[in-house]
């Protein structure tokens, strides 16, 4: 059974991608319908996979001796992320029916979205490192193509290329790590690697561990690669919700969680992971406090929350990090889609022009507030439970200074979340924007996500059991809901965090009286608005890549004779190596 | 001078490869390029047969050569068809005209 559902949840979106593209842009209605049908079917297939979770490979494609078998294992980590990718994916597609109404080139849009969903499922289910890399790159490619969907807008094209280049740097780290592992074990099977990581030479294991950390940081927009994600906000909003909040950016966290048992004994690795997560959470939260673009605020908050997950892994809380990933996917997709409804209605992303939109769009305001409260970590929404679990794991397994910073960031999160909600929906109208409430398809997906935000924390027990039963190497302690609740409500970490969150809220409430403090912090806020100089670093990486590519263009003459000469030279070198070397 | 059959075959292979590579390197006419490619592939075909004989697995060498013959024919046919289209489209068979992708 599991094999069928694995193949279906990868195959259905890819088949749908082909069909939507083949139908052609002159039939937009059919394209909308096809995309919704195929993404919902994929969601159903992935959900059906959950009861079939197992530790053994369910699908195996033998492809000869060199690559090993292409295997897919439906273990807890994989099936849960597959379900998140397909279900949030189908909701984003349903939302797109209204959001992308009247757009040209829907074929390109839906084909890329469906292609992405299938690749994401493949990425989390496969247990072959080479295939992990292949799916990893497909998701990066789809992300690039969708960020640059409005390819007549230079900002969108630039943002897409930046995202592509930065995530490629991570891809190099992943490939290098995978090849190192392969050269020692002669197999790409990642469970074999995890079980036998101790037998590798320490230096090799450390190189692989830090290669994977670079890969994860670049993919999940973590320090010091965090600036591609805000620039990726040029994508249509359902894409931001699906790829840049709920699924693809989680791939880095997934990679760290998957390989945690292999790398946890590498000296310095867990500390490095904690520092990466902590700095990302802190810097991004500070930037979110001064951003004025609605989607950018959400993008910074995504970086910040991903920082929490990375931090939790560094502190040994794989379960806490995955549970926060789950909660975050739901409430951030909700926030992004609600923001999309606002942007769709008023036609701007600048929060300085908004204000008092709540009266015109009460439904959107209601669901946005639910998402915002979950982001701020207020009980009893899903964000509260998972964030407390993360903080508790950090207190037990991580250094105390990191814990202090993360609690401070929880306060900042509450502050900027409230600022964002207030600027958009409350206060006084700062310009004459005419909003209309969300349309039917938008309401369906927003409503379902809001329901999820209110209830997914109830799944903590089964979720923990699923991970515990199918991931023996990760040593996950599963507790039923009642005990988790008891543990959270008796832990001092919870009350410290809630107190700090309350302080964050108070700061926004009393912002007029705290004006003196605010002016003292202008230097900090200017630095935050300039993204602390990392923008320049990442821009440097991008332009260096582009310049070297431009320089290498000389070798691409396009002339047959020169190409033949190149082939001949290569042949001579190979023969020379065979004859004299090794 | 007394040459063994294998030696003769090696000389023939090197000669065919040399002619083929020279044609690919030096000519700019697409027809000549395809002719050069054919000569090159004939050399490699002979090399397969010789290799099979030297290793003592004659049938493997022969079957590889047969495969190459089939593939080679398809390459020639499609290459010539593309040449016809290029001639119609660009009005020339000069490979130098085929750098439009670079711009």
Contact yes or no for A559 and B33 at CB 8 A: no
Cα distance from A547 to chain B (closest Cα, Å)? 17
DSSP letter for each residue of A241-264: HIIIIISTTHHHHHHHHHHHHHHT
SS3 of A351, please? helix
Contact yes or no for A560 and B24 at CB 8 A: yes
Tell me what pLDDT residue B16 has: 94
> Would you give the end-to-end CA distance of chain A in angstroms?
49
Contact yes or no for B102 and A561 at CB 8 A: no
Q: How many inter-chain contacts (A to B, CB under 8 Å) are there? A: 26
Cα distance from B26 to chain A (closest Cα, Å)? 7
To which H or E segment does residue A59 belong? strand A59-61
Which residues of chain B make contact with A568, given a CB cutoff of 8 A? 21, 25
Q: Select from A557, A558, A565 the Cβ nearest to the Cβ of B25.
A: A565
Q: Which residue has the higher pLDDT, B103 or A294?
A: A294
Contact yes or no for B26 and A561 at CB 8 A: yes
Checking if the pLDDT of B19 tops 90, the result is yes
CA closest to B103 among chain A residues: A558
Q: Which residue has the higher pLDDT, A530 or B53?
A: B53
Q: Where are the alpha helices (DSSP H) in chain B?
A: 5-26, 30-55, 58-90
Quickly state the pLDDT bin for B84 (edges 50, 70, 90).
very high
CA closest to A563 among chain B residues: B25
B/e letters for B58-68, b = 16+ CB within 10 Å, e = fewer, are eeebeebbeeb
| The two structure tokens encoding residue A273 | 């992971």
Tell me what pLDDT residue A1 has: 75
Contact yes or no for B25 and A556 at CB 8 A: no
Region of poorest pLDDT, from A32-46, A154-168, A475-489, B24-38: A475-489
Contact yes or no for A558 and B102 at CB 8 A: yes
Q: Which residue has the higher pLDDT, A176 or A54?
A: A176
CA closest to B26 among chain A residues: A561
Q: What is the pLDDT of residues A419-445, one digit of tens each?
A: 888 888 887 777 776 777 777 878 888
Tell me what pLDDT residue A5 has: 85
The residue of B99, B100, B101, B103 whose CB has the most chain A CBs within 10 angstroms, and thus the best one to mutate to test that interface, is B99
Contact yes or no for A557 and B26 at CB 8 A: no
Quickly state the pLDDT bin for B76 (edges 50, 70, 90).
very high
Domain-embedded: residue A580: no
Are A304 and A288 a contacting pair, CB within 8 Å? yes
CA closest to A553 among chain B residues: B102
Tell me what pLDDT residue A29 has: 85
Checking if the pLDDT of A511 tops 80, the result is no
Say what angle helices A250-263 and A106-125 make with each other, to 10 degrees.
Answer: 10
Q: What's A313's DSSP letter?
A: H
Distance CA A449, CA A462 (A): 20
> Would you give the end-to-end CA distance of chain B in angstroms?
56
Q: Which of A2-6, A49-53, A253-257, B98-102 has the highest mean pLDDT?
A: A253-257
| The two structure tokens encoding residue A169 | 């740097």
Domain-embedded: residue A545: no
- Reported for A385-388, long-range contacts at CB under 8 A and 24+ positions apart, including other chains, are A385/A323, A385/A327, A385/A457, A385/A460, A385/A484, A385/A488, A386/A320, A386/A323, A386/A324, A386/A326, A386/A327, A386/A328, A386/A457, A387/A308, A387/A324, A387/A327, A387/A497, A388/A488, A388/A491, A388/A493, A388/A494, A388/A497
Q: How far is CA A566 from the centre of its chain?
A: 41
Contact yes or no for B102 and A557 at CB 8 A: yes
Quickly state the pLDDT bin for A582 (edges 50, 70, 90).
low
**β-sheet bridge partners, residue B81:** none
CA closest to B28 among chain A residues: A561
For A70, list phi and psi in degrees, rounded to 5.
Answer: -85, 100
| The two structure tokens encoding residue A34 | 């096809």
Which residues of chain A make contact with B98, given a CB cutoff of 8 A? 558, 560
Q: Select from B21, B26, B101 the Cβ nearest to the Cβ of A558.
A: B101
Any chain A CB within 8 A of the CB of B26? yes
Domain-embedded: residue A557: no
Residues 6+ apart with CB under 8 A from A545: A165
CA closest to B37 among chain A residues: A564
Checking if the pLDDT of A40 tops 80, the result is yes
Any chain A CB within 8 A of the CB of B68? no
CA closest to A558 among chain B residues: B99
CA closest to A560 among chain B residues: B95
Q: Select from B25, B98, B101 the Cβ nearest to the Cβ of A564.
A: B25
Reported ipTM: the value is: 0.85
Contact yes or no for B95 and A564 at CB 8 A: no
Cα distance from B58 to chain A (closest Cα, Å)? 24
Domain-embedded: residue A168: yes
Residues 6+ apart with CB under 8 A from A47: A83, A86, A87
Distance CA A522, CA A528 (A): 10
Checking if the pLDDT of A534 tops 80, the result is no
Checking if the pLDDT of A492 tops 70, the result is yes
Q: Select from A556, A560, A568 the Cβ nearest to the Cβ of B95.
A: A560
Q: Which domain holds residue A222?
A: 2-529
Domain-embedded: residue A164: yes
Domain-embedded: residue A581: no
Q: Select from B21, B33, B102 the Cβ nearest to the Cβ of A568.
A: B21
Quickly state the pLDDT bin for B13 (edges 50, 70, 90).
very high
Q: What is the pLDDT of residues A451-466, one digit of tens each?
A: 888 888 887 777 778 7
Checking if the pLDDT of A574 tops 90, the result is yes
Tell me what pLDDT residue B1 has: 64
Tell me what pLDDT residue B20 has: 92
Q: What is the pLDDT of residues B37-73, one digit of tens each?
A: 999 999 999 999 999 988 888 899 999 999 999 999 9
Q: Which of A136-140, A185-189, A350-354 has the highest mean pLDDT?
A: A136-140
Q: Where are the alpha helices (DSSP H) in A186-293?
A: 190-196, 202-219, 228-231, 237-241, 250-263, 269-290
Q: What is the pLDDT of residues A245-297, one digit of tens each?
A: 888 888 889 998 888 888 888 888 888 899 999 988 888 888 888 888 888 88
Are A450 and A334 a contacting pair, CB within 8 Å? yes
**Residue A199: count of CB within 10 angstroms of its CB:** 9
Tell me what pLDDT residue B103 has: 58
Which residues of chain B make contact with A559, given a CB cutoff of 8 A? 95-96, 99
Domain-embedded: residue A70: yes
Name the one residue in this structure whose structure tokens are 């939507």.
A20
Which residues of chain A make contact with B95, given a CB cutoff of 8 A? 559-561
Distance CA A263, CA A216 (A): 14
Distance CA A30, CA A36 (A): 10
Mean pLDDT of all residues in A499-520 = 73
Percent of chain A with pLDDT over 70: 96
Contact yes or no for A557 and B99 at CB 8 A: yes
Are B42 and B16 a contacting pair, CB within 8 Å? yes
Distance CA A396, CA A311 (A): 12
Tell me what pLDDT residue B102 has: 67
Q: Which residue has the higher pLDDT, A210 or A529?
A: A210
Distance CA A375, CA A414 (A): 8
Domain-embedded: residue A549: no
Quickly state the pLDDT bin for A515 (edges 50, 70, 90).
low
CATH of B5-102, one of 1.10.287.3510, 3.40.50.1820, 1.10.530.10, 1.10.10.10: 1.10.287.3510
Give the CB-side neighbour count of residue B39, counting CA atoms within 13 A: 18
Give the CB-side neighbour count of residue B72, counting CA atoms within 13 A: 18
A contact set with B (CB within 8 A): 556-561, 564-565, 568
Q: What is the pLDDT of residues A330-385, one digit of tens each?
A: 888 888 888 888 888 887 788 777 777 777 888 888 888 888 888 888 877 888 88
Contact yes or no for A556 and B33 at CB 8 A: no
If we measure between CA atoms, which residue out of A118, A26, A138 comes closest to residue A72?
A118
Are A269 and A256 a contacting pair, CB within 8 Å? no
Provide the residue ranges of all domains of chain B, joining segments of one domain with +. Answer: 5-102
**β-sheet bridge partners, residue A126:** A72
Structural domain total, chain A: 1
Percent of chain B with pLDDT over 70: 96
Any chain A CB within 8 A of the CB of B28? yes
Tell me what pLDDT residue A514 has: 67
Are A248 and A143 a contacting pair, CB within 8 Å? yes
Tell me what pLDDT residue A520 has: 67
Checking if the pLDDT of B77 tops 90, the result is yes
Contact yes or no for A560 and B21 at CB 8 A: no
Mean pLDDT of all residues in A34-49 = 89
Which residues of chain B make contact with A557, given a CB cutoff of 8 A? 99, 102
Checking if the pLDDT of B80 tops 80, the result is yes
- For residues B64, B68, B70, B76, the Cα torsion angle rounded to the nearest 10 degrees is 180
The residue of B19, B21, B41, B43 whose CB has the most chain A CBs within 10 angstroms, and thus the best one to mutate to test that interface, is B21
Mean pLDDT of chain A: 84
CA closest to A559 among chain B residues: B96
Where does residue A365 rank: exposed (0-12), middle (13-18), buried (19+ CB within 10 A)?
buried
């Amino acid at each position: 059974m599991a094999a069928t559902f694995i193949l279906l949840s990868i195959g259905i979106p890819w088949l749908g991608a082909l069909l939507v593209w083949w139908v052609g842009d002159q039939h937009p209605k059919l394209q909308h319908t096809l995309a919704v049908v195929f993404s919902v079917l994929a969601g159903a297939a992935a959900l059906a996979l959950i009861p079939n979770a197992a530790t053994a490979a369910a699908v195996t494609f033998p492809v000869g001796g060199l690559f090993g078998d292409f295997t897919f294992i439906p273990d807890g980590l994989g099936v849960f992320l597959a379900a998140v990718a397909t279900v949030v994916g189908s909701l984003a597609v349903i939302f797109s029916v209204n959001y992308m109404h009247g757009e040209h080139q829907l074929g390109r849009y839906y084909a890329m979205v469906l292609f992405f969903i299938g690749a994401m499922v493949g990425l989390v289910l496969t247990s072959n490192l080479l295939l992990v890399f292949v799916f990893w790159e497909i998701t990066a490619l789809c992300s690039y193509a969708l960020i640059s969907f409005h390819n007549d807008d230079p900002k969108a094209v630039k943002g897409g290329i930046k995202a592509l280049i930065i995530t490629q740097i991570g891809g190099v780290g992943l490939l290098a790590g995978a090849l190192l592992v392969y050269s020692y074990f002669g197999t790409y099977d990642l469970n074999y690697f995890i079980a036998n990581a101790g037998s590798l030479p320490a230096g090799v294991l450390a190189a692989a561990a830090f290669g994977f950390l670079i890969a994860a940081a670049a993919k999940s927009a973590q320090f010091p690669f965090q600036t591609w994600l805000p620039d990726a906000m040029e994508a249509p909003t359902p894409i931001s919700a699906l790829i840049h909040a709920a699924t693809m950016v989680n791939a880095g966290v997934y990679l760290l969680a998957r390989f945690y048992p292999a790398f946890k004994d590498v000296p310095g690795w867990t500390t490095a992971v904690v520092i990466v997560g902590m700095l990302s959470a802190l810097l991004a939260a500070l930037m979110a406090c001064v951003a004025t673009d609605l989607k950018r605020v959400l993008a910074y908050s995504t970086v910040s929350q991903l920082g929490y997950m990375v931090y939790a892994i560094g502190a040994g809380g794989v379960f806490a990090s995955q549970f926060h990933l789950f909660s975050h996917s739901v409430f951030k997709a909700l926030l992004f889609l609600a923001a999309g409804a606002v942007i769709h209605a008023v036609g701007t992303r600048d929060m300085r022009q908004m204000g008092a939109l709540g009266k015109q769009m009460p439904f959107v305001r209601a669901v946005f507030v639910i998402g915002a409260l979950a982001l701020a970590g207020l009980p009893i929404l899903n964000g509260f439970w998972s964030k407390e679990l993360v903080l508790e794991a950090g207190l037990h397994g991580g250094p105390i200074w990191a814990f202090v910073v993360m609690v401070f960031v929880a306060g900042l999160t509450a502050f900027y979340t409230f600022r964002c909600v207030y600027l958009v929906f409350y206060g006084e109208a700062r310009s004459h924007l005419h909003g209309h409430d969300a349309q039917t398809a938008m309401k369906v997906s927003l409503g379902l996500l809001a329901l999820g935000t209110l209830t997914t924390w109830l799944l903590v027990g089964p979720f923990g059991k699923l991970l515990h039963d199918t991931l023996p190497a990760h040593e996950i302690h599963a507790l039923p809901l009642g005990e988790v609740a008891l543990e959270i409500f008796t832990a001092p970490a919870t009350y410290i965090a809630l107190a700090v969150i309350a302080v964050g809220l108070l700061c926004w409430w009393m912002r007029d009286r705290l004006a003196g403090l605010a002016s003292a912090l202008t230097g900090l806020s200017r630095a935050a608005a300039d993204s602390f100089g990392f923008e320049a670093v990442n821009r440097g990486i991008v332009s260096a890549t582009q310049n070297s590519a431009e320089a290498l263009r000389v070798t691409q003459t396009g002339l047959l004779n020169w190409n033949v000469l190149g082939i001949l030279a290569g042949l001579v070198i190979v023969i020379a190596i065979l004859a004299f070397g090794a | 001078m007394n040459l063994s059959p294998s030696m003769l075959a090696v000389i023939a292979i090197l000669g065919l490869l040399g002619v083929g590579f020279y044609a690919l390197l030096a000519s700019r006419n697409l027809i000549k390029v395809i002719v050069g490619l054919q000569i090159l592939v004939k050399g490699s075909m002979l090399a397969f047969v010789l290799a099979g004989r030297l290793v003592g697995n004659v049938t493997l060498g022969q079957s590889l050569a047969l495969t190459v013959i089939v593939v080679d024919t398809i390459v020639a046919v499609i290459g010539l068809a593309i040449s016809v289209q290029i001639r119609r489209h660009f009005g020339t068979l000069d490979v130098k005209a085929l750098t439009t992708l670079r711009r």
